[in-house]
Structure 1
Amino acid sequence: MIERLAIPVCAVLLLSSCDDVSMTQQKRYGTLSRAALFENGSEAQPLPEGVVAQGDVERKNRTQQRPHISAGLLARGRERYDIYCSPCHGLSGQGDGMIVQRGFPAPPSYHSSRLRAAPAAHFFDVITNGHGVMFSYAARIDPSDRWAIVAYIRALQESQGANVADTPELRTRLP
């Protein structure tokens, strides 16, 4: 008998503690609203001096650590490049991706003399922060994958300028 009464009594007690008005109409500041409580008059407060967001130190270290070039790194770079970069830059890096074929402004070719001479950090920075109409991929692509993409871009640049005479071992394999 007591067990049968316990469940309805608990339910009544729990539901009676809910007050729709206080739960839906809370006294709070809206985003970027004026707030007399703070000296600068704004609800949005700057971070205190010396505060580091959780994970920022590790993330910064990972952006500065350049990986060693390996076949695995290039394979990962190609995979990430095909996903994130090829829609605009094209599979060969000429700037003729599918988005460009549909009217979007063409990005520069990776094979231009300016980008061939650019340091690897330039490509990493552009992937991280964006440039021109390209938006930032910092939140979408992990720093290690950004370095893999940079390595693959360098491989693309080398492949487009490659000559059979530069690689004598290929001459024996090609008819």
Structure 2
Amino acid sequence: MRSNTLAARAWFASDRWSRWLAAGVVLAAFSGCQDMYDQPRYEPFEASTFFEDGASSRPLVAGTVPRTDPRNLPDVPDRNLLLTGLKDGLPSRSAPFPVDQAVLERGQGRYRIYCAPCHGEVGDGKGIIVQRGFTPPPSYHDDRLREAPLGHFFQVISEGHGAMYSFAARIAPQDRWAVASYIRALQLSQNAKVSDLPPEDQGQLQEASK
């Protein structure tokens, strides 16, 4: 009996020592992370006596191409409209370039990647993220948004709104216009009337309904 008691005490002591050792290792790891977080470093554009020009930030290497290279932007008459969504100080009612099938297909692709998870495939605000508890965005088919100018959607994509953050760093300006144009196409598709269709399409519907 006594030997069993001594064995139990020895096990408890060794187990307690293991717990203390594990706790020490964890604390040491956290202290190391804290040192990395607070390590001496220069903040952006902070002054420095190390370099002759007194600045810690170094000049760009000759020939460096910026991430938002203006040479990748389309050639449009109104560059300000392309980048801001504004025409005469107000959200523009049209895109700064012609919207054709290729633009709409590009907008559809970008929309499905960046917008559909929240806004839904048809723009009703019931995307998969919303179905899992995220704050639902307004439906594009509300009267307020159906009447909103195209530039409004461009600006929201660029600047964010409410729970939605800015996508300016993710979606190029011309693609933001493509997405905005596709949103308008979604609005038309979900609220279309037979009378809005060309005569040949109306004829096909009538034939299909017989």
Q: TM-score, normalised by structure 1?
A: 0.67
Q: Does 2:42 match 1:30?
A: yes
- Is there any run of 5+ residues in structure 1 with no aligned partner, and where? 1-27, 38-42, 46-53
CA contact (8 A) 1:87 1:99 kept: yes
- The change in CA–CA distance for 1:30 and 1:115 in structure 2 (over 3 A counts) is same
Match of 1:88 in 2: 118
- Is there any run of 5+ residues in structure 2 with no aligned partner, and where? 1-39, 50-54, 58-65, 74-78, 85-94
Alpha-carbon distance between aligned partners in 2 of 1:92 and 1:44, rounded to the nearest angstrom: 50
- The change in CA–CA distance for 1:154 and 1:35 in structure 2 (over 3 A counts) is same
Alpha-carbon distance between aligned partners in 2 of 1:164 and 1:133, rounded to the nearest angstrom: 36
Highest CA radius of gyration, 1 or 2?
Answer: 2
Matches within 5 A, 1:81-120: 81-120=111-150
CA contact (8 A) 1:29 1:35 kept: no
2:153 alignment partner AA: F
Aligned to 2:115, the other structure's residue is in SS state helix
Of 189, 194, 200, which residue of structure 2 is paired with 1:169? 200
Q: Does 2:165 match 1:153?
A: no
- The change in CA–CA distance for 1:104 and 1:172 in structure 2 (over 3 A counts) is same
Aligned length: 136
Q: Cα distance, 1:69 vs. partner?
A: 1.0
Alpha-carbon distance between aligned partners in 2 of 1:126 and 1:63, rounded to the nearest angstrom: 13
Matches within 5 A, 1:104-143: 104-143=134-173
Q: Cα distance, 1:118 vs. partner?
A: 1.1
What is the CA RMSD across the aligned residues, in angstroms?
A: 3.0
Alpha-carbon distance between aligned partners in 2 of 1:44 and 1:135, rounded to the nearest angstrom: 31
Alpha-carbon distance between aligned partners in 2 of 1:71 and 1:163, rounded to the nearest angstrom: 21
1:57-87 CA deviation, whole Å, 9 max, x = no partner? 9389342572201011111111111111000
Alpha-carbon distance between aligned partners in 2 of 1:169 and 1:163, rounded to the nearest angstrom: 14
Counting aligned pairs with the same residue, the percent is 49
